Structure 1
Amino acid sequence: MNKHQNEKELYTDNILQAFQQTKGEQLDLLNDGFTPQNEPQTKGEEPTPKEEVALEAVETEQKQIQQQETIYMGYDGVQYTEEEWVSPVVRNGPSRQEVEEWKEKHEGHVYFTPFDGDVFVWRVLTRPEYREIIGDKTLTALDREEYFTEKCVLYPRNFSIEKIKKSRAGIASLLSEMIMDKSGFVANSAPIKL
């Protein structure tokens, strides 16, 4: 037992020695000219290269912590980093921040449709908007499609009937159909007999 006890003490002493040596080295590094930020330096005293490196390391770490803490919350509770927040949601599209603002404004009913390199972000049609367009008896069915599309397209910005007329012929019709579908004009399922 004595032999076992001596080996255990020797082993414990080695660990304690290594710990104390490491602790001593760390204290030496701190005492090697590192000036804490809360201690003022005397006037005209230039920081040593070791102090400059230590201060730069502290500043870099603080910046990284600040960047890590910048989290943005989306409309539906999804969290985004700052990089994700300012990046386009889809290629050649609006930023995540813009999309989340639109989702907030339109109660989450924001969609996108790609057309051969063009991206359209749109929202659903409200009942008052529908009534206004349908109420104009001078409009044809094609005119209505264009007005529905003009009202609901959020991106590209400043989308207008003039731009619709200059674009490919089917875009307004397809977008209008999708807008009407998501606006509740198409049943999601067949009627069920009770």
Structure 2
Amino acid sequence: MPRAQKKQEVHVEETQEELAPVVNIGKEYDEDDVTKAEEEIFPGGPTHNELEKWKSMYNGEVYLTEFDEENVFIWRPIKRKEYKDIAKIPNADQFYKEERICDKSLLFPANYGAMNMSVGKAGIPTLLSELILEKSGFVAKTGAMRLS
């Protein structure tokens, strides 16, 4: 009996022109193909099992942003309560808030924290936080439309 054919689904969503592309990853595979579930979705990345776990935890809203071979991030949108807590931080500048947004939302790499952000490429936390906010509802799909 032939095995069910594997399906791969990747959605690329356009963002504002100055932002990097965001990829919403979806992967389906045979239920009996257990080894596939333990394979990494990209070299050095999380496994298909981890991705499926995140997708179930965050209503399927898991995104990938790749800056270069060394800087690939998987993240989720930020929740309102998390955003409000960050916004309330006294005496915090915009850069600090961007880094906290990344801290809350990044799923991979797990060890990408404040130290990595401070010594890494300057634009990554800024761009990632913009993408996270966009997918968290801070950018409307359409502009305001007057109804008559």
TM class by shorter-chain length? 0.7 to 0.9
The residue correspondences of 1:158-177 to structure 2 (distance < 5 A) are 158-177=111-130
**Per-residue Cα deviation, 1:106-146 (whole angstroms, up to 9, x for no partner):** 11111011111121011110011001000113211111101
1:78 aligns to what? 28
Tell me if structure 1 keeps the 8 A contact 2:98–2:125. Answer: yes
Deviation at 1:90, TM superposition (A): 2.5
CA distance in 1, matches of 2:72, 2:40: 11
Q: After the TM superposition, which segments of 4 or more aligned residues of structure 1 sit over 6 Å from their partners? A: none
The residue correspondences of 1:49-64 to structure 2 (distance < 5 A) are none
From 91, 95, 98, the equivalent of 1:142 is 95
CA distance in 1, matches of 2:80, 2:60: 16
Tell me if structure 2 keeps the 8 A contact 1:113–1:119. Answer: yes
1:14 aligns to what? none
How many residues in Structure 1 have an aligned counterpart in Structure 2?
123
**Per-residue Cα deviation, 1:41-67 (whole angstroms, up to 9, x for no partner):** xxxxxxxxxxxxxxxxxxxxxxxx9xx
2:55 aligns to what? 103
2:76 aligns to what? 123
Deviation at 1:83, TM superposition (A): 3.2
TM-score (norm 1): 0.58
Tell me if structure 2 keeps the 8 A contact 1:149–1:176. Answer: yes
User: Considering only aligned residues, what root-mean-square deviation do their CA atoms show, in Å?
Assistant: 2.2
Deviation at 1:77, TM superposition (A): 9.1
1:5 aligns to what? none
CA distance in 2, matches of 1:164, 1:77: 30
Deviation at 1:89, TM superposition (A): 1.4
CA distance in 1, matches of 2:27, 2:48: 13
1:186 aligns to what? 139
**Per-residue Cα deviation, 1:138-186 (whole angstroms, up to 9, x for no partner):** 2111111011011111101122111111111000001001000000001
Secondary structure of residue in 1 paired with 2:85? helix
1:153 aligns to what? 106
Secondary structure of residue in 2 paired with 1:188? coil
**Per-residue Cα deviation, 1:72-126 (whole angstroms, up to 9, x for no partner):** xxxx893443232111112331111001101111111110111111210111100
Q: Which has the higher helix share?
A: 1
Secondary structure of residue in 1 paired with 2:111? coil
TM-score (norm 2): 0.75
